[in-house]
């Protein structure tokens, strides 16, 4: 058996932790795409959260965001300078902070993909206190995948799609890649054999000259997805063009709060200092790592200037960040 500890739900973590690349023939390469929400959250979100914290607002955020470098400072540095920044495990915890502090303003930095968007939507639909608001920076996976197909020098032969995102939006949301782009596609779970099976499925498609959208993660993912979660998303958010850190602006790839919820939109509630937001620091190659153009060790800063203790780029921060995963697990020898 593989070590049976619960796995952090990310394909790169599964691949690196269990040395799955070492099981593959040299002809088969598996690269990481832009799948870490912390990595792709634009700096403007963090800069504004820092500004609010230093102005006396209670800023609540997932712990993953705390050390992410921003233009002037990270949320952790803002906390060290006296800002009231609190790590929460969910948006529900952030709402609870607001309820317990009725004389303070509380902002939740709401990031993530289709997986986390329904939870924030659910809280807003249930009703939140007036002193609570949301910085909404949710992003959508399929539009980013479409963008990747348009980057000529990456040459992807198949997609391994995220099982948990598919659990929300369904297999149907990924069919476009096989049907319109003729790209072999599998939806995969996060155990080691899930990933290996997904690779096998893609290789079979290539052998047979087919392009299908197959569901390896059928024990969880359904064709239609989670209709209740989709309903929450539809009721609370509009789809809009959005900026991705290191990648740029992607049409129809973000969620913004609908007009009915704008009273709880922190970016409408507060005014922010106008400033230049720096997404990628000089020398940082996170933007190339995020689109699978290079592996983290190919960045000159990797493991030297940029470490988990002192991350220089966003991909070194979160346990889901590709650079952080490479730093932790490294490359395994070929078997």
Partner 1 sequence: MEAVERFRNAKIAKEISEEIRRLKPDRKVKFMHVCGTAAGPEA
The distance of closest approach from Cβ of residue 130 to partner 1 in the complex, given in angstroms and rounded to an integer, is: 26
Angle between the 117-126 and 227-236 helix axes, to the nearest 10 degrees?
A: 70
Rounded Cα gap, residues 317 and 200, in angstroms? 31
Under the binding rule (CB under 8 A), the answer on residue 329 touching partner 1 is no
CB of residue 71 to partner 1, shortest distance in Å: 19
Of the candidate residues 226, 256, 285, 318, the single one contacting partner 1 (CB under 8 A): 318
CB of 61 to partner 1, least distance (A): 9
Q: Does 28 bind partner 1 (CB under 8 A)?
A: yes
3-state secondary structure of 212: coil
3-state secondary structure of 61: strand
Of 209 and 282, nearer to partner 1 (C-beta) is 209
Question: Shortest Cβ distance from residue 273 to partner 1 (Å)?
Answer: 25
Contact pattern from residue 36 through residue 65 relative to partner 1, giving x for each residue in contact according to CB under 8 A and a dash for the rest: xxx-----------------------xxxx
The span from the CA of 78 to the CA of 290, in Å, is 26
171 interacts with partner 1 by CB under 8 A: no
Q: How many other C-beta atoms lie within 10 A of the C-beta of residue 156?
A: 16
Could you say whether residue 196 binds partner 1 (CB under 8 A)? yes
> Is residue 85 near partner 1 by the rule CB under 8 A?
no
State yes or no: residue 333 binds partner 1 (CB under 8 A). Answer: no
**Binder among 107, 202, 301, 323 for partner 1 (CB under 8 A):** 202
CB 90 within 8 A of CB 119: yes
Q: Which of 176, 203, 239, 288 binds partner 1 (CB under 8 A)?
A: 203
Among 73, 124, 148, 289, binds partner 1 (CB under 8 A): 148
**121 near partner 1, judged by CB under 8 A:** no
Residue 56 CB partners (closer than 8 Å, separation 6+): 84, 104, 105
Beta carbons of 66 and 314 less than 8 angstroms apart = no
Out of 320, 323, 326, 327, name the contact with partner 1 by CB under 8 A. 320
Check binding of 155 to partner 1 (CB under 8 A): yes
102 to 106, 123, 141: CA distances (angstroms): 9, 17, 36
- Binding-site size for partner 1 (CB under 8 A) equals 77
Nearer to partner 1, 273 or 324 (CB): 324
Q: State the Cα–Cα distance between residues 157 and 154, nearest whole angstrom.
A: 9
User: Could you tell me if 34 and 247 are in contact, meaning their C-beta atoms sit under 8 angstroms apart?
Assistant: yes
Q: Work out which of 84, 114, 243, 267 binds partner 1, going by CB under 8 A.
A: 114
Q: How many residues does the chain have?
A: 335
Determine the straight-line distance between the first and last CA of the chain, rounded to whole angstroms.
17
């Amino acid at each position: 058996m593989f070590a049976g500890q619960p796995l952090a739900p990310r394909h790169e973590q599964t691949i690196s932790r269990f040395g799955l690349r070492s099981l593959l023939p040299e002809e088969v390469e598996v690269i990481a795409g832009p799948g870490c929400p912390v990595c792709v959250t634009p700096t403007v979100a963090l800069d504004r959260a820092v500004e609010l914290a230093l102005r006396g607002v209670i800023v609540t955020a997932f712990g993953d965001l705390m050390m992410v470098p921003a233009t002037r400072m990270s949320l952790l540095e803002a906390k060290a300078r006296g800002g009231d920044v609190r790590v929460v495990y969910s948006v529900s915890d952030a709402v609870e902070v607001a309820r317990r502090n009725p004389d303070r303003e509380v902002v939740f930095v709401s990031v993530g993909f289709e997986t986390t968007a329904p939870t924030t939507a659910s809280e807003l639909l249930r009703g939140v206190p007036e002193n609570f608001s949301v910085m909404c920076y949710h992003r959508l996976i399929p539009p980013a995948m479409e963008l990747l197909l348009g980057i000529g020098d990456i040459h992807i032969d198949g997609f391994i799609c995220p099982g948990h995102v598919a659990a929300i939006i369904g297999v149907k949301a990924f069919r476009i890649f096989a049907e319109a782009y003729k790209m072999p596609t599998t939806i995969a779970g996060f155990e080691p054999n899930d990933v290996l099976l997904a690779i096998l499925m893609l290789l079979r498609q290539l052998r047979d000259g087919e392009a299908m959208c197959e569901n390896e993660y059928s024990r969880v993912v359904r064709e239609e997805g989670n209709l209740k979660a989709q309903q929450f998303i539809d009721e609370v958010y509009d789809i809009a063009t959005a900026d991705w850190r290191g990648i740029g602006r992607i049409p129809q790839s973000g969620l913004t709060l609908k007009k009915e919820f704008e009273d709880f939109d922190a970016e409408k509630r507060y005014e922010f200092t106008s400033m230049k937001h720096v997404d990628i620091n000089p020398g940082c190659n996170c933007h190339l790592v995020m689109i699978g153009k290079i592996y983290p060790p190919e960045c000159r800063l990797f493991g030297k200037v940029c470490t988990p203790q002192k991350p220089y780029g966003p991909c070194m921060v979160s346990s889901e960040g590709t650079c952080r995963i490479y730093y932790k697990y490294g490359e395994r020898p070929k078997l």
